[in-house]
C-alpha cells in the first residue's frame, strides 16, 4: 500500500504522515526533504537560485524514486498534485491520494510566522493564502481519491486515518 498525502501548506502532511507511518509500521517520505537532499539545497534556495520551474521539475522526477518503495506514506509538497502528470505518476505507481482538508482560517493561523516557505514571504500573506487556497481547493479535491477532514491535532487525525486504513490493509 502506498499512501500519498496532499493539501495546502500547513495542513499537516508531514506531521500526520510521520505519525500515520509509525502507526501502520510503514516507511515515511517527505518529498520536500527528499528533494533538498537530492539537490543539496534548501527549497527556498532552489526557488531563489534556480526558480520555481526547476523546483517543479525536481518534484516530478522525485515521485518515481519515492514511489518505488512499498508500504510507504508520502507527504507530497503543497503544489505537487496541481500537475496532472504528477497525479498520473502517483497512480501509475500504485499510490492512493488523500487530501487533508483544513479550513483556510486555521491554515492562516498556522502559517502566520513561517519563514521557510518561499511562496509565503510577502507582505500580503493572509490575502495571498486566501487567494491561493481558493484557486487550489478544487484541484486538491479532484486530485484526491479520498478527502479527509483534517481540522484538528495531527495525533488525532493520524489515529483516525490509521483506523480507517486498518480496514483496507
Q: Which three cell numbers stand for residue 27?
A: 516507511
Residue 32 CB, nearest approach to ligand S3P (Å): 5
| Interface pick for ligand S3P out of 2, 32, 99, 102 (rule CB under 6 A) | 32
- Confirm if 75 and 17 have CB atoms less than 8 A apart: yes
- CB-nearer residue toward ligand S3P: 13 or 19: 13
The closest alpha carbon to 4, from 103, 107, 77, belongs to: 77
Q: Give the nearest residue (CB) to ligand S3P.
A: 78
Question: Footprint of ligand S3P on residues 109-128 (CB under 6 A)?
Answer: 117-119
Cβ atoms of 36 and 42 within 8 Å: the answer is yes
Query: Which listed range, 64-72, 77-85, 121-129, 151-159, lies at the site for ligand S3P (CB under 6 A)?
Result: 77-85
In 3D space, the residue among 122, 148, 124, 145 whose CA is nearest the CA of residue 8 turns out to be 148
33 CB-near residues (< 8 Å, 6+ apart)? none
CA distances for 47 relative to 13, 94, 111, 149, 166, angstroms: 21, 30, 19, 31, 39
Q: How many positions of this chain bind ligand S3P (CB under 6 A)?
A: 10
Q: For the CA atoms of the chain, what is the radius of gyration?
A: 15
CA atoms of 89 and 104, how far apart (whole Å): 28
Q: How far is the CB of 167 from ligand S3P (least distance, A)?
A: 28
Give the x-and-dash track for 78-97 against ligand S3P (CB under 6 A). Answer: xx------------------
Member of 4, 12, 13, 87 binding ligand S3P (CB under 6 A): 13
> Per CB under 6 A, which region of 21-29, 60-68, 74-82, 147-155 contacts ligand S3P?
74-82
The residue within the footprint of ligand S3P, chosen from 3, 21, 29, 43 (CB under 6 A), is 43
Please report, as ranges, the residues that interact with ligand S3P according to CB under 6 A: 9, 13, 32, 43, 77-79, 117-119
Amino acid at each position: 500500500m502506498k499512501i500519498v498525502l496532499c493539501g495546502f501548506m500547513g495542513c499537516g502532511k508531514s506531521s500526520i504522515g510521520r505519525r500515520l507511518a509509525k502507526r501502520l509500521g510503514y516507511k515515511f517520505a517527505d518529498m520536500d526533504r527528499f528533494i533538498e537532499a537530492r539537490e543539496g539545497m534548501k527549497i527556498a534556495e532552489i526557488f531563489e537560485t534556480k526558480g520555481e520551474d526547476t523546483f517543479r521539475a525536481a518534484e516530478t522526477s522525485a515521485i518515481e524514486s519515492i514511489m518505488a518503495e512499498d508500504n510507504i506514506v508520502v507527504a507530497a509538497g503543497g503544489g505537487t498534485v496541481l500537475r496532472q502528470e504528477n497525479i498520473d505518476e502517483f497512480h501509475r505507481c500504485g499510490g492512493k491520494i488523500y487530501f487533508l482538508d483544513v479550513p483556510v482560517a486555521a491554515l492562516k493561523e498556522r502559517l502566520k510566522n513561517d519563514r521557510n516557505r518561499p511562496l509565503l514571504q510577502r507582505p500580503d500573506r493572509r490575502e495571498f493564502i486566501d487567494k491561493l487556497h481558493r484557486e487550489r481547493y478544487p484541484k486538491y479535491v479532484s486530485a484526491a481519491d479520498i478527502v479527509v477532514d483534517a481540522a484538528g491535532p495531527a495525533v488525532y487525525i493520524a489515529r483516525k486515518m490509521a483506523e480507517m486504513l486498518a480496514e483496507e490493509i
